[in-house]
Amino acid sequence: MQTIEGVRFDAFFLSGWVLLQAILVASLASHLRLWRAAKNLLKGLSLHPIVAAFDRVPRELFAKRLPGRPRLVHLRHAVNAHAAMLAAQQAPAPAPASVAAMGEPALPMSDDVRKVVAEIVGALPASTPAPAPPPQSPLLAMLEHELRKSHRADVAKSKTWRAITREAAVIVPQLGLQPGSVAPAWQPQAETFVAITIGLMVRDLAARVVEGMHVIFGALLALVLYEMSLRAYPRELMLGLTWMYVGGGVVIALATVISAERDIVLSRLAGTTPGKIQWDAVFVTRTLVPLLFAVLTLLATQFPSIGNVLLGWLRPVQTAIP
């Protein structure tokens, strides 16, 4: 690689160019490794009996299909599901037996005594047992304490989140998920609690995948800007490698988005049809438009002669992306 600045600067410029490529290749490899692990996990979940409970996970958690990391406020869904499970576990009190159903007493009574007893029983006020207060989840107070500090704190550092995962790990062996096992009466509520807990984990994993794509496009943009900062030769080789990286990054990102859209578990969590792409505003604005915007921005940066035209087209799109 040669520039007009001298041999020492050429070596410095070349080392920076190689370093940016190494960062880009590492980010691509890291993203592929993470997405492969995520796909294996999602495939295992799709074959588990708990998969049907994902339909009961609140849609708010996956309204964007590939959402950001869960926050403390999202733990309310798991805490509410835990309280519903505790309420279902509370056995109803048996109804008191009526006087008529008590049968004959051990000692015989005359008709006069029977009439007196009937009058006394009829004069007594009807007593109805007071309804038991709904059980409070012990996780509620813990979550409220943390929410007072920050609503958007990281879930990974939350004591409530650790307590939720421990509770879910205790509940799963008690469920009748295996063939031939007897399911408890409160299994639907417990499955919902476990499904929400798993959904929060999947959301965190999906957010890491999205962050990996952001790193890829950030590295691509840094490489293009670095090459534009100074004209170096051989120019054709540098441009060829750059567009090879751009093409690879775009293909990997689009493949990730489409694969996530068709995934069974993510589709159940988002309320879409598994195996099909939901061509709605969420899919377009949150996936395809940002990717196309990144590609066209790279084109505009790489070719300044057409940059003004492309950037003029992209300004309405840029303002439309939230």
**pLDDT given at position 275:** 83
Residue 228 lies in a domain: yes
Residue 276 lies in a domain: yes
Residue 251 lies in a domain: yes
Residue 12 lies in a domain: yes
Task: Say how many residues make up the chain.
Answer: 322
**pLDDT cut 70: percent of the chain above it:** 70
Residue 150 lies in a domain: no
Q: Looking at mean pLDDT, say which of 61-65, 120-124, 184-188 comes out highest.
A: 184-188
Q: Quick one: pLDDT band at residue 239, thresholds 50, 70, 90? A: confident
Given a cut of 70, whether residue 83 has pLDDT beyond it is yes
Given a cut of 70, whether residue 122 has pLDDT beyond it is no
Given a cut of 50, whether residue 93 has pLDDT beyond it is no
Contacts of the segment 245-253: beta carbons below 8 A, 24+ positions apart: 245/21, 245/24, 245/220, 246/220, 246/295, 246/298, 248/28, 249/24, 249/28, 249/216, 249/217, 249/220, 250/291, 250/294, 250/295, 252/28, 252/31, 252/32, 252/213, 252/216, 253/213, 253/216, 253/217, 253/291
Per-residue burial over 147-169, b = 16 or more CB atoms within 10 Å of its CB, e = otherwise: beeeeeeebeebebbebbeebbe
| Reported pTM | 0.74
Residue 288 lies in a domain: yes
Q: Which residue range(s) make up the domain with 296?
A: 7-49+209-320
Q: Quick one: pLDDT band at residue 301, thresholds 50, 70, 90? A: low
| Residue scoring higher pLDDT (53 or 282) | 53
**pLDDT given at position 196:** 95
* Number of domains the chain contains: 1
Given a cut of 50, whether residue 106 has pLDDT beyond it is no
